[in-house]
């Protein structure tokens, strides 16, 4: 029995168990969600998932690469079920955890492709900085409709944005750091038309968010000369235009699950983001 | 693609629609609707940061109380009826924006007091003269308020008016109300609310029909045998005896919610999703609706019985109801939509109180398969396909299809494929009033009824009620907790059909 048959068989058994009381299990999917999480990111990936599945019921395929070990694949299958308010049914999502060891970590597409749900979009969340030019990245970009990254998890900024822009033609890209800056971009947009002459942008927050904001202004306003003054902080907390502080957006910033969830609602390329990355 | 409003920074910015600064003035601010629906909705909008940044609420009612007392009462209402967990910080921001004015609507001084508060709020909160008036008041107060508001409307900002049902009690009175409104407000400033249109599943009807290529080609008389629409409530009249005696189910539910569901089911595809395009198509349906005659309409009134195991009183024993009342609490009708798409396809509709369970559904029953080769071995008979749209509760869509029972032979069973809204999109369905209040703030009237729609709805109701003047049925004629009077079954059985199994 092959791995895929084994996975499908285990899922069928789990569905039968869930339906043991005679109530049929509803399996609802709006997408296939593939997560690439190197060991360092495994915990964070599972944590984000907990807040996400209820909003985007999907088949989730968690890929944990462990290239330094003996070549094998370890698989765990589970169902996460949620009661629906006022209804006797439960809705279940499938989670397939695959530990790709040794060489198997270089060829994820052959394992992922047969497990994708047909006719639904595939979103790949890549935790950490992708290994630009590596086979595993190349393969997953090939099977995904949308690659979701968080460039604030990267160390090689701003150079990595150049690498990222190299794959724009192959797959639509979402960046959690870009989503996080949305409310601030709204604030900056309110400064139109005075903001047309901006010379200096000061940002206190993650480096990625600051670079993207500056890139966005440079590309939208067609002013390459806008200088960025960045002060590092965990959260995007202050933005100033030519020394003048911009009013902060109202309310608490969205959670990691909220941000990822918003990206999973987006289809197609985002030319504004792509231009911001190129100008960052 | 050019940038919105010439601002290149707005392009591609997926910001949520947020209304312009405004003041919401609620007339009837101490009433049940305000407590149960309006404030919980406002609070949910505040939680999601969908209210304008510069915003205020004025509550106007006769009840003598201070702003502080009103705020306390509304907080309690939000805690009791809200769908979101109570957050003191969110509430505090909303409470800061609340002012209560105790006045009689007919009192000039009271209206002036409201105007003074509005001017003060414009200065303090920068609401720029934008007003959204919500008339959550009994029909008797309607004319006075509209007149007073019209007289005092300013030249700055926009003014919009949300009008609650009932909108008239017949065609003539609805026409008179429309004339009063038209004297002071343009049609695009009037938002006649039918909260059914704010329900996600009702809007999903449009998505189902017009976003899926597979349904529209068979959405016609050639493939559909008939349509059944049910608006059933298990509750009684909940202390609204005086109102219900005047209205009955035909004015309370049939004239508005039920006919809106018929219109959404039968309408032609609009060219776009703007208010006028959608409403133009709905009006065409309303104009082509008719019932073939008095025998195609059945009315009923519940007697005592059991609902969900509890013994309940009959309608005539309810407080505020005459012991010999002839008010109907149930209506069923066969309607026809006279156009090319629907000619000779019956729409069986029914609405009632104290029925077996709460349920609003639209069932599209397709024609039977023309020649099923395995009819003889069908388990429960090869039933026709039914597309069932659950409006409430259990929002979703299900499709009944025939499937082979595993094993020897060729036994066919009907199985349901369910799509439950909550299962696919677990974002928590917004309450209808949240969507509608927000739309009114944004000036989007797509989900509100237009004057000519209301007029056509009443034309049909008037024709039905006129026939009722000539006969006097024996009431009560159905037991509480059942699916209505026997005559309703006879109405559909005469055509060789039956109401859906429950």
Mutating which of A29, A175, A190, A192 best tests the B interface, going by the most B Cβ atoms within 10 A?
A192
Kindly list the residues from chain A whose CB atom is less than 8 angstroms away from the CB atom of residue B15: 182, 186
Q: Which of B257, B371, B416, B502 is catalytic?
A: B257
Inter-chain contact B422–A91, Cβ cutoff 8 Å? yes
Give CA separation, B420 vs B55, B231, B372, B395, in Å: 36, 19, 30, 6
Kindly list the residues from chain B whose CB atom is less than 8 angstroms away from the CB atom of residue A250: 49, 53
Residue B241 near residue B320 (C-beta atoms within 8 A): yes
Asked if B2 is an interface residue toward chain A (Cβ–Cβ < 8 A), one would say no
Nearest of A76, A68, A71 to residue A38 by alpha carbon = A68
Tokens describing residue B493: 């059985």
Please, is B459 exposed, middle or buried when counting C-beta atoms within 10 Å of its C-beta (0-12, 13-18, 19+)? Answer: middle
- Based on the residue annotation, tell me whether B147 is a catalytic residue of this protein: no
A184 vs A237: CA distance, rounded Å? 9
Inter-chain contact A54–B426, Cβ cutoff 8 Å? yes
Number of inter-chain CB pairs under 8 A, A vs B: 69
Asked if A26 is an interface residue toward chain B (Cβ–Cβ < 8 A), one would say yes
ipTM: 0.74
Asked if B124 is an interface residue toward chain A (Cβ–Cβ < 8 A), one would say no
Asked if B393 is an interface residue toward chain A (Cβ–Cβ < 8 A), one would say yes
Inter-chain contact B13–A82, Cβ cutoff 8 Å? no
Q: Write out chain B's pLDDT in tens, 502 residues.
A: 345 568 888 888 877 778 999 999 999 999 999 999 999 999 999 998 889 989 999 999 999 999 999 999 999 999 999 988 899 999 999 999 999 999 887 777 888 889 999 999 999 999 999 999 999 988 888 888 999 899 888 888 999 999 988 888 999 999 999 999 999 999 999 999 999 898 887 888 888 899 999 999 999 999 999 999 999 999 999 888 988 999 999 999 999 999 999 999 999 999 998 899 999 999 999 999 999 888 999 999 999 998 877 889 999 999 999 999 999 999 999 999 999 999 999 999 999 999 988 889 999 999 988 877 775 555 556 778 999 998 887 678 888 888 777 776 777 777 777 776 666 665 567 788 999 999 999 999 999 999 999 999 999 999 999 999 888 899 999 999 999 999 999 999 999 999 986 6
Cα nearest neighbour of B89 on chain A: A251
Count Cα atoms within 13 angstroms, Cβ side, for B78: 25
Nearest of B7, B427, B13, B52 to residue A179 by alpha carbon = B13
pTM of the model: 0.80
Kindly list the residues from chain A whose CB atom is less than 8 angstroms away from the CB atom of residue B419: 28
Inter-chain contact A192–B7, Cβ cutoff 8 Å? yes
Kindly list the residues from chain A whose CB atom is less than 8 angstroms away from the CB atom of residue B423: 26, 28, 57, 84, 89, 91
Inter-chain contact B420–A54, Cβ cutoff 8 Å? no
């Amino acid at each position: 029995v092959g791995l895929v048959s084994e996975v499908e068989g285990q899922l069928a058994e789990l569905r039968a168990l869930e339906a043991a009381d005679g109530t049929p299990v509803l399996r609802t999917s709006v997408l296939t969600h593939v997560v690439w999480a190197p060991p360092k990111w495994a915990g964070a990936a599972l944590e984000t998932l907990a807040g996400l599945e209820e909003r985007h019921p999907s088949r989730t395929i968690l890929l944990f690469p462990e290239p330094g070990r003996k070549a094998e694949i370890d698989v765990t299958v589970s169902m996460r079920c949620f009661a629906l308010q006022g209804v006797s049914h439960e809705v279940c999502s499938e989670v397939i955890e695959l530990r790709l060891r040794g060489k198997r970590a270089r060829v994820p597409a052959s394992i992922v492709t047969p497990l994708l749900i047909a006719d639904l979009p595939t979103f790949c969340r890549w935790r950490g900085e992708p290994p630009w030019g590596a086979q595993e990245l190349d393969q997953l970009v090939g099977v995904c409709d949308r690659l979701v990254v968080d460039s604030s998890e990267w160390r090689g900024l701003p150079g990595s944005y150049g690498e990222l822009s190299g794959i724009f033609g192959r797959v639509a890209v979402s960046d959690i750091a870009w989503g996080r800056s949305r409310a601030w971009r709204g604030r900056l947009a309110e400064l139109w038309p005075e903001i047309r002459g901006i010379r200096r942008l000061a940002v206190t927050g993650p480096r990625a968010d600051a670079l993207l904001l500056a890139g966005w202004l440079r590309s939208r306003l067609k002013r390459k000369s806008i200088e960025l003054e960045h002060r590092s902080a965990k959260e995007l907390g202050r933005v100033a235009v030519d020394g003048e502080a911009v009013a902060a957006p109202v309310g608490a910033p969205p959670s990691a699950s909220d941000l990822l969830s918003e990206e999973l609602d987006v289809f197609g390329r985002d030319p504004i983001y792509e231009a911001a990355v190129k100008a960052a | 693609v050019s940038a919105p409003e010439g601002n290149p920074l707005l392009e591609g910015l997926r910001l949520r629609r947020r209304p312009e600064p405004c003041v919401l003035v609620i007339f009837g601010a101490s009433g049940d609707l305000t407590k149960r629906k309006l404030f919980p909705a406002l609070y949910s909008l505040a939680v999601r940061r969908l209210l304008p940044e510069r915003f205020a609420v004025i509550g106007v009612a006769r009840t003598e109380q201070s702003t502080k007392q009103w705020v306390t009462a509304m907080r309690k209402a939000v805690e009791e009826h809200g769908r979101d967990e109570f957050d003191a910080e969110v509430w505090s921001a909303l409470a800061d924006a609340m002012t209560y004015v105790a006045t009689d609507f007919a009192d000039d001084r009271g209206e002036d007091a409201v105007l003074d508060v509005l001017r003060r709020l414009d200065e303090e909160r920068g609401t720029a003269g934008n007003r959204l008036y919500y008339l959550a008041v009994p029909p008797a107060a309607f004319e006075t308020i509209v007149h007073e508001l019209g007289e005092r409307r300013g030249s700055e900002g926009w003014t919009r008016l949300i009008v609650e049902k009932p909108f008239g009690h017949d065609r003539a009175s609805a026409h008179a109300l429309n004339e009063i409104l038209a004297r002071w407000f343009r049609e695009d400033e009037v938002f006649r609310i039918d909260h059914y249109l704010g329900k996600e599943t009702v809007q999903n009807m449009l998505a189902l029909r017009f976003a899926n290529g597979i349904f529209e080609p068979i959405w016609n008389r050639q493939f559909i045998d008939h349509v059944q629409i049910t608006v059933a409530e298990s509750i009684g009249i909940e202390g609204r005896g005086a109102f219900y005696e005047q209205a009955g189910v035909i004015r309370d539910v049939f004239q508005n919610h039920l006919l809106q569901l018929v219109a959404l089911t039968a309408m032609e595809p609009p060219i776009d999703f703007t208010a006028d395009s959608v409403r133009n198509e709905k009006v065409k349906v309303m104009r082509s609706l008719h019932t073939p005659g008095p025998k195609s309409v059945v009315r009923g009134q519940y007697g005592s019985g059991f609902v969900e195991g509890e013994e309940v009183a009959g309608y005539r024993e309810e407080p505020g109801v005459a012991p010999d009342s002839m008010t109907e609490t149930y209506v069923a009708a066969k309607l026809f939509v006279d156009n090319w798409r629907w000619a000779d396809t019956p729409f069986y509709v029914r609405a009632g109180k104290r029925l077996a369970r709460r349920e609003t559904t639209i069932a599209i029953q397709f024609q039977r398969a023309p020649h099923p080769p395995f009819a003889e071995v069908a388990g429960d008979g090869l039933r026709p396909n039914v597309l069932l749209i659950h409006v409430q509760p259990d929002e979703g869509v299900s499709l009944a299809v025939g499937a082979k029972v595993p094993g020897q032979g060729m036994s066919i069973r009907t199985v349901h494929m369910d799509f439950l809204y909550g299962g696919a999109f677990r974002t928590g369905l917004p309450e209808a009033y949240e969507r509608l209040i927000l739309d009114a703030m944004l000036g989007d009237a797509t989900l509100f009824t237009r004057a000519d729609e209301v007029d056509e709805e009443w034309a049909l109701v008037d024709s039905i009620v006129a026939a009722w003047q000539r006969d006097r049925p024996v009431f009560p004629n159905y037991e509480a907790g059942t699916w209505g009077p026997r005559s309703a079954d006879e109405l559909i059985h005469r055509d060789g059909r039956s109401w859906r199994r429950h």
